[in-house]
Structures are given as structure tokens and as C-alpha cells.
Amino acid sequence: MTRPSPLTLFLTELLGAPPPAIEAWWAHAERRVLERGQPLLRAGEHWRHLWWVERGALRLYYLDRDGAESNKNFFLDSALCWPITPSLRQQPVMFHVEPLEDSVVWALPLPVDSGEPLPSAGWAPWAALEHRVLCALLDGKMQREQEFLQLSARQRYARLMEQHPDWSERIALRHLASYLGVTDVSLSRLRSEMGLIKG
């Protein structure tokens, strides 16, 4: 009997024992060892996998028309990331995904026909997971909009460190600055003013 992959064990712990068809789907996941900066997905490509970060850190970012990077989100140890909406599966993406550090990521293939439902469609625990993820994405988007409209850069950074205290240890300052909409020089100055840089 084949030993379950770490992804299968993670999903089983998260969702409970799956029906045989879903367990068979999970068994198709491939372990990928990625070096820092090695592209996982490029703008213009189709997003064809669910990813689970067994160990490491990924960043999702855009390039503007001048080639400047803008970080949209980060996914660290044990994070799940997949094209949850139909349009994300059906259309080429406009962003890039790459590791911020050497990482181990499990890639679970999605149906090649982007209009075909996932093998887990109709399974109540998966539907509940999708609902939670969609709610978290919407809440996060609304929070970021509110922060950019109403909070100073210092307040945005303080809130970020409160919600994600590990990010400052794992994510380079320039990437955090991009996520917050400031320059790395400005963020370094803020950190100094907040007593976060020891002289």
C-alpha cells in the first residue's frame, strides 16, 4: 500500500477522511523542491495546480507597465493556494508566483479543462473550506483597502506585524515595503522610529 503524501495527511487532518475518488486525486500531487526566485507561475500562463507549502515561503506579485514589482500576498509554511474562482482557472493570470526562500511545495493538478469541476466538487468539507477561503480573501481585500485609505504607513506596518509577526523574520524588507505601498528606505526609517532596529 502506498504511503500517503504529506499533502494527503494535511488535507485529511484539515477536512477529514475523503471519499475514494478524492483520495485518488490527492495521490497525484507532486513534490517540488524550489530554489529562491525560481518561477512557479508567470503572468500569461494558466494556473493549473493547487499548491500546498510544506516548507518555505511564496510571494504573489504584479509587474506594472514600467516593470516595477508590487507584492499582493505571501504564503508561508502550511498555506494552501489555488485558483478558487472559475475565472482564475479559465483565463491566463496577470501575476507571478515565486519562492522567497528555498521551499518544498506540493502541486496537485487541476482538471485540464478549466470548465470542468474539481474532483472534490460536491464534497461538503471541501465546499466549507472554499467558503472559508473566499470569505478570508474578501475580508483581506476590504481590510487592505481600508488601511490604504485611512491608516498611515506606520499604522499599516504595526497592524501587519500584529497579524503576521513571523513575516518580519522571513520576508525581506523590500518585499514588505512593496506590500505596504512604501519604499524600503521609508520602511527602514519607520522601523527605526518604532525602536525595531537596534543600533
CATH number, domain containing residue 86: 2.60.120.10
What is the mean predicted confidence (pLDDT) over 52-80?
95
For the beta carbon of residue 84, count every other beta carbon within 10 angstroms: 15
Average pLDDT over residues 67-85: 94
Comparing 129 with 115, the larger pLDDT belongs to 129
Q: Which is higher by pLDDT, 79 or 194?
A: 79
In-domain check, residue 181: no
Predicted confidence band of residue 197 (pLDDT cuts 50, 70, 90): low
Residue 65 lies in a domain: yes
User: 198 pLDDT exceeds 70?
Assistant: no
Residue range 5-26: average pLDDT? 95
Evaluate whether residue 168 is within a structural domain. Answer: no
Identify whether 159 is part of a domain: no
* Terminal Cα distance for the chain, rounded: 57
- The three-class DSSP label of residue 18 is coil
Mean model confidence pLDDT for the chain: 92
Give the CB-side neighbour count of residue 104, counting CA atoms within 13 A. 7
Q: For residue 14, what are the domain limits?
A: 6-123
Q: What is the percent of the chain with per-residue pLDDT over 70, rounded to a whole number?
A: 98
C-alpha cell at 198: 537596534
The average pLDDT across 115-131 equals 91
> What residues contact 148, with CB distance under 8 A and at least 6 apart?
156, 181
Model pTM?
Answer: 0.91
Count CA atoms within 13 Å of residue 14 on its CB side: 16
pLDDT-derived band at 114 (thresholds 50, 70, 90) equals: confident
Residue 47 is assigned to a structural domain of this protein: yes
Q: Please, which pLDDT band fits residue 54 given cuts at 50, 70 and 90? A: very high
Kindly indicate the confidence band of residue 87, based on its pLDDT and cuts at 50, 70 and 90: confident
Band of residue 133 on the pLDDT scale cut at 50, 70, 90: very high
Arithmetic mean of pLDDT, 165-191: 92
Give helix 6-15 / helix 124-150 axis angle, nearest 10°. Answer: 90
pLDDT of residue 3: 83
Mean pLDDT of 78-92: 92
Task: Return the pLDDT at 9.
Answer: 96
Confirm whether 19 is domain-assigned: yes
User: What's the number of domains the chain is made of?
Assistant: 1
Contact at 8 Å (CB) between 167 and 51? no
Question: Is residue 44 one of the residues assigned to a domain?
Answer: yes
